[in-house]
Structure 1
Amino acid sequence: IEGGLQSLPKLSFKGGVLIGDAAGFLNMPRIKGIHTAMKSAMLAAEAVFPLLENLEEVESFDSGKEEADYQQRFEQSWLYQE
């Protein structure tokens, strides 16, 4: 988790997303991680929620649909700059 932006993994996969320290969102020089973990969870929730709105979407999500919108939301947020 100390590798910085170039060490971040792909943030979404079929059936899930990586958030917080699991994804590597820790600002090591400033020793800050709580705000980055919370923001990554908020971005993930915003990306996944539309999939859960319809019962049909829930079925496709359970079968392993990947939520690639999470990566885009991350890159457009202050978290990416942090």
Structure 2
Amino acid sequence: MGKQVGIIPFTGRVGPLIGYRVGNQYLVRSMPAQVRQTPATRRSAQDFGKASRLGRSLRNAIHPQLTVPSDSTLGRPQRF
């Protein structure tokens, strides 16, 4: 992982490079030449996606019933 130095930092894919942001730093990495997935890992990723969508549905359904104030930092890394 390298730091991006330049006038215009980027996120996303540009050719074989992937730019991303962590905190206030913009970093870059190269794409892997090949991604291998076994049938088991593919099935596991699909199951995780289903569970994630179900969790979102539950959170959205329960949210109006909660009396606690909303916390927008949920799921974001904390900076100390």
Question: Do both proteins adopt the same fold according to a TM-score greater than 0.5, normalized to the shorter chain?
Answer: no
* Larger helix share, 1 or 2: 1
- If you compute each CA radius of gyration, which structure gives the higher value, 1 or 2? 2
Bigger relative contact order (CA 8 A; separation at least 6): 1
TM-score (ref. length: structure 1): 0.29
* Larger strand share, 1 or 2: 2
